[in-house]
A and B are shown apart, each in its own frame.
Chain A
């Protein structure tokens, strides 16, 4: 039985690579050979703090929830997938057919399973079992890495849907990390224009510009929210219809409230403190609609279509790759905050070719062949001589 190397968090500050058994798929499930897994800020948070809000790591848990892999084994009753199919994994799987599920908002189901949210294990391992209905086949033209990016892309799709983003709207995005950039790509493909992206880090703003932001604005730690709103209005030649807040920072939430056009929508993706100080009176008197999002629902088929038709290109966001056995270094890098998206490659490596050994082997083989040829020729010559001596008669030896 080969090992199932997995990256496991035990408590705050404590992650280890461990060997775990390879699971068996139950009815309705598939066993996957995981190929690519993206590291999310939440994975790093569980590592550093052992919890996010009320989700607390009470027993060792495998991290990772942004994954794609290959179907390795089918559980009973699985018909839409076969062994060898390349799939992207939707990590949130409702456990019961509750009222939220029935109305199509299964992401709000209180008992939902979710990879790498305690107590549910994630996908940073070699072999992983998942509900087959939440594994989506990837077309040939969509790579495993893109398949792993579907999870953060889904956050963008769900946020833009909740925000009602559509053609011709002006959009403001706070935060130019992976989530902000995904929202930028989705908003753009929905026809929004112009789109302004705000961040504190110049490199991130440069990336946003490369990825299609109409304009960018730098925010400082001491930029007053009303001033930020004014800067945005200038940049967009008007107030945004939709603001997508990806940072969780109070300064950005306040700025978003002041900036958004009357009757518009402020989407909250970033998670901040339990309580936020905000000018709610402005929400009231200008009829703003403040809508949070919780993960996503019904986004995978859309995301696959978008990637397959090349409406969005997520590949530039992948800045670093590590094999699974170097996952801890990968996490250290993400923690630093300088990388954009770091992918962990989880397939067991094949034996590597040693060029020197190959050359030696080849040489040996050639020598072997030459030796055989020589021996054959010698034998033939001896045979010929015997015959010749026999014909002359007598024979001097």
Chain B
């Protein structure tokens, strides 16, 4: 079977590997659709991401859906033929984080396509059955593959305290920013303003429901914050920062209403300069988030009920054997989501 594999020497190749057997409590899946994430591209280009360093070839891809081909011992809730979405990261030990419901913070986790674990950009893949979620008929495999980035947005809006009537600022109109827009609106946010450097991305944002868009040019963060207030008619209660750029962190803090929340999704450098004083004396909470937890059932429900429509965000499709081209497309930041068809 073929897989998209990254080697530490910045090379991504399509290789043949053996079909795995499902272990205790695992299922073997025939992969259907896998989306490419910025982190996959990053591992390809740099061989590492933060503290995660590739020491051996690794299969990429962690945004996938597949069909159950074989169930391992002890699996009762799935059978061959079931289509599932894969939650790629799960804890390896039942520690206090797990017991209190925040398993995403557990220090030792398995995570697809995070060294040293393989991902599922391949034809056949075995996964922990507890982290495979059955898709109803009305949710396609591509939508199923989209649940992973959609989960980032669900977790972000929860942590960011977005709720009915919220006024929200989203920094960054890439796939994560746009998904946050969809989730914020579905959650009942009254108005969402989204900002980006790219006018084409902002057009897409408008198409999928942004109330306002702001094209960032040469403003200072304070000036951009004033523009946000002007356009929204008030200061946002929640800001979801999806870029990791210091400029946007500053903007988010200056923009947010006193007592509000700035939610950090994007990853920046090791040390940044932050106007913590401004945030602190206005009781603007700055909250981080790491991946997600307890989002898959909700995501499936939202897709099934059509309250969230992710299909407009899929702009490119490639078969698995053209994976390298797919990666080049993603690297060039063409379109929004590039999907690989693996069956």
Q: What is the interface of chain A, defined by CB distance below 8 A to chain B? A: 53, 100, 103, 105, 107-108, 110, 162, 253, 262-263, 268, 271-294
Contact = CB atoms under 8 A, between A and B. Distances in A.
Given A108-B258, A277-B271, A292 B284 contact: yes
B153 to A, nearest CB: 15
Interface of B: 50, 97, 102, 104-105, 107, 159, 249, 258-259, 264-290
Contact of B280 (A110, A277, A287, A293): A293
A286 B276 contact: no
A341 B267 CA distance: 43
Contacts of A285: 50, 267, 288, 290
Contacts of B269: 281
A273 B277 contact: yes
A290 B279 contact: yes
Contacts of B270: 279, 281
A278 B276 contact: yes
Contact of A263 (B97, B271, B276, B284): B97
Given A108-B259, A284-B290, A292 B272 contact: no
A291 B281 contact: no
A199 B107 CA distance: 30
Nearest to B100: A263
Contact of B283 (A108, A110, A271): A108
A328 B317 CA distance: 76
Contact of B288 (A100, A105, A287): A287
Which one of A277, A279, A285, A286 has the highest number of Cβ atoms from chain B below 10 Å of its Cβ?
A285
B276 A276 contact: yes
Contact of B272 (A107, A162, A278, A294): A278
Given A268-B276, A280-B268, A291 B288 contact: no
A26 B102 CA distance: 54
A110 B26 CA distance: 57
Contacts of B259: 100, 103, 105, 108
Contacts, number: 125
The 8 closest A-B pairs by CB, nearest first: A292-B280, A284-B288, A283-B288, A290-B286, A262-B105, A268-B280, A276-B276, A108-B258
A150 B276 CA distance: 27
28 contacts: A100-B259, A262-B105, A263-B97, A268-B280, A271-B281, A275-B276, A276-B277, A277-B272, A277-B273, A278-B276, A279-B271, A281-B50, A281-B268, A284-B264, A284-B265, A284-B289, A284-B290, A287-B105, A287-B288, A288-B287, A288-B288, A289-B285, A290-B276, A292-B280, A292-B283, A293-B280, A294-B258, A294-B283
A278 B271 contact: yes
A280 B287 contact: no
B309 to A, nearest CB: 28
A105 B284 CA distance: 13
A108 B282 contact: yes
A274 B275 contact: yes
Nearest to A109: B258
A121 to B, nearest CB: 22
Contacts of B107: 262
A266 to B, nearest CB: 9
Contacts of B267: 281, 284-285
Contacts of A100: 258-259
A287 B102 contact: yes
Contact of A287 (B271, B281, B290): B290
B159 A292 contact: no
Given A108-B259, A286-B288, A280 B279 contact: no
B259 to A, nearest CB: 5
A338 B232 CA distance: 50
A201 B89 CA distance: 45
A111 B313 CA distance: 45
Contacts of B97: 262-263
A289 B107 CA distance: 18
Nearest to A285: B290
Nearest to B289: A287
Given A108-B259, A262-B105, A263-B105, A283 B277 contact: no
Given A280-B286, A281-B50, A286-B105, 15 more contacts: A103-B259, A268-B276, A272-B277, A276-B273, A276-B274, A276-B276, A278-B271, A279-B271, A280-B274, A284-B289, A286-B290, A289-B285, A290-B285, A291-B283, A292-B282
A64 to B, nearest CB: 21
B191 to A, nearest CB: 16
Contacts of A277: 271-274
A286 B269 CA distance: 15
A380 to B, nearest CB: 86
Contacts of B278: 274
B290 A283 contact: no
Contacts of A108: 258-259, 282-283
Contacts of B249: 280
Contacts of A290: 276, 279, 285-287
B105 A292 contact: no
A110 B264 CA distance: 26
Contacts of A292: 276, 279-285
A290 B283 CA distance: 10
A108 B159 CA distance: 22
A284 B277 CA distance: 19
Contacts of A271: 277, 280-281
Contacts of A276: 273-277
A107 B285 CA distance: 15
Nearest to B105: A262
B237 to A, nearest CB: 11
Contacts of B277: 53, 271-276
